[in-house]
Amino acid sequence: MRKIIKNNILVILISIILLEIFSKTVQADSGIKNNFRVNARCAIALDRDSGEVLFEQNGYEIVPMASTTKILTAIIAIEQGDLDKKVTISKKSSGVRGSKVGYKAGEEITLKELVFGLMFKSGNDAAIAIAEALGGSVEGFAEIMNHYAKGIGILDSHFESPHGLDSNSHYSSAYDLAILTSKGMNYDLFREVVGSKQIAKDKYNFTRDYNNINKILWLIPEANGVKTGYTGGAGKCLVSSVNNQGKDIIIVVLNCPDRWEQTQKIYKHVLETVAFENQNFKELVGAQSIE
């Protein structure tokens, strides 16, 4: 009888210890997450493998997203297009406003090279060339974009162009862009395109060399993508992927004046939060082993 009472008391004491540790963990963890803010209208950090949201600040708000749109354009080109097919650059493509690779009307460029130009140089001319090749027109390609987005569960976005120039009917959210990027990172070519700092024309018999304008690849050693964006309506945007111990962390900042610094700040915060949670998990396991 005494042994039973002794065991019951031990169980109660262990339960009290576990409850206290858990309570402190939740409170401290909540403080870390809730007190952290960045200088961006919208931001999110997502574990690509699990889909877990690691940090979020207005992450579900619908806003313009500028050239981060090209993530979807690239995915569709890689998944649905004949990458070796040559595309003739139209006058509409070569004459588009905004950032361009510099393709000339009448040039023949493979679809694969257009994807590099799209993502490395944020080429609006490459975007239109891809749209015309796969959708027959910008409008036709926009229909493909919206159909594809809904098919992978992106429900709060609407696409009107392959490049993302400002339009009232063109919008997304940080969360949707993170999900979209997670999809893109499943493809080896997408990973190569968004994660490379430069590509020599000789590698794939391209017409020119390409240098990536995405500075995050230099600022965070573990960064492996993804895409910049800027328009007057969207502000400065950045979708990044950082590989930490074999896992991709997708980070999105929208309407973020200092996007490079804020992305680094979010990455550091995520690492510190994960480390904190792992330490408290070890303490919980240790407490359970008390005899």
pLDDT in tens, 179-189: 999 999 999 99
The answer for 122, left when phi > 0, alpha when psi is -120 to 50, beta otherwise, is: left
Q: Is the pLDDT of residue 291 over 50?
A: no
pLDDT digits (tens, 9 = 90+) for 136-188: 999 999 999 999 999 999 999 999 999 999 999 999 999 999 999 999 999 99
Q: Active site includes 91?
A: no
Between 142 and 287, residue with greater pLDDT: 142
Residue type (1 letter), 91: K
Between 109 and 287, residue with greater pLDDT: 109
What are the Cα distances from residue 51, in Å, to 34, 212, 278? 20, 27, 18
Token pair listed for 247: 């896992």
Contact partners, residue 43, CB within 8 Å, separation at least 6: 55, 56, 57, 58, 59, 174, 251, 252, 253, 254, 256, 262, 266
Alpha carbon distance 106, 87 (integer Å): 9
pLDDT digits (tens, 9 = 90+) for 76-126: 999 999 999 999 999 999 999 999 999 999 999 999 999 999 999 999 999
Residues 217-229 have a mean pLDDT of 98
At 15 the pLDDT is: 58
Residues 59-75 have a mean pLDDT of 98
Enumerate the β-bridge partners of residue 74. Answer: none
Phi, psi (deg, nearest 5) at residue 163: -115, -30
Residue type (1 letter), 272: E
Please give the mean pLDDT across all residues of the chain. 89
Alpha carbon distance 170, 276 (integer Å): 39
At 232 the pLDDT is: 97
Q: First-to-last CA distance in the chain?
A: 19
Alpha carbon distance 291, 289 (integer Å): 6
Domains of the chain with CATH codes: 36-288 (3.40.710.10)
What is the number of other CB atoms lying within 10 angstroms of the CB of residue 160? Answer: 18
pLDDT band at 274 (very low <50, low <70, confident <90, very high): confident
pLDDT digits (tens, 9 = 90+) for 1-10: 555 555 566 5
Phi, psi (deg, nearest 5) at residue 114: -60, -35
**pLDDT more than 90, % of the chain:** 81
User: Which residue positions form the known binding site for substrate?
Assistant: 227
Residues 194-215 have a mean pLDDT of 98
Token pair listed for 178: 């993170």
Catalytic residue among 70, 100, 112, 121: 70
At 244 the pLDDT is: 94
Torsion angle, alpha carbons of 242, 243, 244, 248, to 10: 90
Q: Is the pLDDT of residue 51 over 60?
A: yes
Token pair listed for 248: 């991709």
Catalytic residue among 93, 122, 157, 196: 122
Q: Which of 68-72, 260-264, 285-289 has the lowest mean pLDDT?
A: 285-289
pLDDT band at 20 (very low <50, low <70, confident <90, very high): low
Q: Active site includes 150?
A: no
Q: Is the pLDDT of residue 198 over 90?
A: yes
Phi, psi (deg, nearest 5) at residue 203: -60, -45
Q: Is the pLDDT of residue 25 over 90?
A: no
Q: Active site includes 122?
A: yes
Alpha carbon distance 70, 229 (integer Å): 9
Catalytic residue among 67, 94, 161, 173: 67
pLDDT band at 265 (very low <50, low <70, confident <90, very high): very high
